A and B are shown apart, each in its own frame.
Chain A
Amino acid sequence: MPDSRGDPASPPLPAGTGDGDGLDLTPRRPEARPGRRPPVARRIISLLVVAGAVGGITFALVRLVTDASLFFLNTDEAVERRDELSGQRFRMQGTPLAHSVAGTRVDFEQAVAFTVAFDGVAADVVHVGSPPDLFTPGVPVVLEGRWVEGRPPDLDGFACGVNDGYYFASDHMLVKHDNEYRDTYPDRLEAAGAGGESAGC
């Protein structure tokens, strides 16, 4: 095949890829060449999506580290470290005990008072705000707040509580559902109480 670049009779071809037996393959009509150099917009959009993904990963990891830095303690650990945690905000996990839940008010706001337990250790809680729909005794919760010494306002005491002079003042509550789906689970009620039944009514 003739080499057009070496033929003086042929018009000189513009510099291009030089692919394909020395032929210049630069498209004459870029929009009509599928699979060839795409529009600049495509490159920009792709790079923006990549940058967005990198930014999203960074944001998610920073939020995880920031939020996870808040202590996540089970009730028994929180009670054991009460002096150390004085005034400090942290998360506490426990299971509300049967017959312990009572509605109340704190500073004219709706609140609920109850007692949670984990591994046989119980603690009294006052949560300000509406609890989640599935909040009920026997279903574990994760509370966010701090220890307060004394008796909660507008409340004479916890009906079935520990009443040890401290309560956990919570303003954020999440229900933590377990992975149990068996109707006939024999130890369900014992597990739901998490060994804290003795502290209840």
Chain B
Amino acid sequence: MSILLGRSPGRPTPEAAPAHTGSRTTRILGAVTLAGVVGLCLCAFIFSPPDSRPGPEAGTRIGQFDAVRLMYVHVPAAIWTYVALGTCAMASAVYLWRRSAWWDRLAHACAEIGVVLCAITLITGMIWGRPVWGTWWEWGDVRLVTTLVLFLVYAGYLAMRSVPAAPEARARRASILGLGGAVLIPIVNRSVEWWENRTLHQQSTLEELRIEDLTLFTLVLGIFVMGVLALWLAVHRFRLAWLEAEAESAGLRAALAERRAEAAEPAAPTAGSGEGTPSAGAAGS
């Protein structure tokens, strides 16, 4: 928890919220991400070989050739989509139990990261599918369509969060959707196994370890780099959500102070009204 707020663990209070989204931890994460992206680009585009093997006819080669390089982004993005949206579901469940804004903001941040990663998964998959399968999209494929549905459910989750409502009601509705949408994650992940030989999408390469040498190393590096990138983005997004809530509370406190001043104006100026006391300051947090 401390990594999200950039301070010691404990129940966060509005007064203790960070003034910005950066910290030593995020700077280290950012540096690791940057170095990882450079290393991944070198491995993916220069050092790792294209996917090419001898075909059944003499002198022919089969494989995905250079299209395989998209795998180093597509597979990590898909894996971290599951993790991010799974974390959103877990945080939503805890919010419904504890009613703590901390968990609601964690769910929100993870949902945003998950939607972005899911979009990357879909786009890179389409770009890969055109040369390899011969089509951008196949509506009859369970893996493709369930991934699209997962994306739309959590895009709807984010849209629902932006519908104006009381913070508690909004968080409750979002948590129910965030938790319910997670039912799709195992369906998406297992679809190629459950409908084996009935889908266009291939089965898992990593589970059966049908990959080796530099291709395997680059894929694992891609998973690590995408994970650090997702964590870095999630930390920043969480802190931003915290600051947004703080700004909302500050607006409420300012309104309270203004009204108290207005109410006190016609009366004796000596009235000890305690202007500006943020008695309801946490209402918006």
Q: Which A residues are closer than 8 A to B by beta carbons?
A: 1-4, 7, 9-11, 13, 19-21, 23-25, 27-28, 33-38, 42-43, 46-47, 49-50, 53-54, 56-57, 60-61, 63-64, 66-68, 70, 72, 74, 91, 93, 97-99, 131-139, 142, 173-185, 188-189, 192-193
Given pairs A3-B263, A68-B142, A179-B210, 8 additional interface contacts (CB within 8 A): A35-B252, A46-B160, A49-B155, A64-B145, A137-B60, A177-B202, A179-B203, A183-B212
Residues in B with CB closer than 8 Å to A64 are 139-140, 142, 145-146
* Across the A-B interface, the 7 shortest Cβ-Cβ residue pairs: A132-B134, A35-B248, A67-B140, A53-B156, A49-B159, A4-B263, A98-B56
Size category, B interface:
35 or more
Residues in A with CB closer than 8 Å to B152 are 53, 56-57, 60
Q: Once the chains bind, are B263 and A1 in contact (CB under 8 Å)?
A: yes
Q: Once the chains bind, are B134 and A181 in contact (CB under 8 Å)?
A: no
CB of B190 within 8 Å of the partner chain? no
Taking the nearest CB of chain A, how far is it from the CB of B276, in angstroms? 12
Q: What are 19 of the A-B contact pairs (CB < 8 Å)?
A: A3-B263, A10-B267, A11-B266, A19-B283, A20-B279, A27-B255, A36-B255, A46-B162, A49-B155, A49-B156, A50-B159, A66-B139, A134-B64, A136-B60, A136-B62, A137-B60, A174-B138, A179-B202, A193-B56
Residues in A with CB closer than 8 Å to B164 are 37-38, 42-43, 46
Q: Once the chains bind, are B259 and A24 in contact (CB under 8 Å)?
A: yes
Residue of A with least CB distance to B207: A179
Residues in B with CB closer than 8 Å to A7 are 266-267
Q: Once the chains bind, are B259 and A133 in contact (CB under 8 Å)?
A: no
A37 and B164 alpha carbons, distance in the complex (Å):
7
A178 and B204 alpha carbons, distance in the complex (Å):
9
Interface 1/0s, chain B 261-285, versus A by CB < 8 A?
Answer: 0111011000111100001100110
Which of B140, B205, B249, B279 makes the CB contact (< 8 A) with A181? Answer: B205
Q: Once the chains bind, are B211 and A134 in contact (CB under 8 Å)?
A: no
Q: Once the chains bind, are B139 and A61 in contact (CB under 8 Å)?
A: no
A28 and B258 alpha carbons, distance in the complex (Å):
10
Taking the nearest CB of chain B, how far is it from the CB of A36, in angstroms? 6
Residues in B with CB closer than 8 Å to A74 are 197
A91 and B251 alpha carbons, distance in the complex (Å):
61
Taking the nearest CB of chain B, how far is it from the CB of A26, in angstroms? 9
A134 and B274 alpha carbons, distance in the complex (Å):
77
Residue of B with least CB distance to A9: B266
Residues in A with CB closer than 8 Å to B32 are none
A132 and B146 alpha carbons, distance in the complex (Å):
25
Q: Once the chains bind, are B62 and A192 in contact (CB under 8 Å)?
A: yes
Residues in A with CB closer than 8 Å to B247 are 34-35
A37 and B248 alpha carbons, distance in the complex (Å):
11
CB of B53 within 8 Å of the partner chain? yes
Q: Once the chains bind, are B271 and A1 in contact (CB under 8 Å)?
A: yes
Q: Once the chains bind, are A67 and B160 in contact (CB under 8 Å)?
A: no
A63 and B54 alpha carbons, distance in the complex (Å):
38
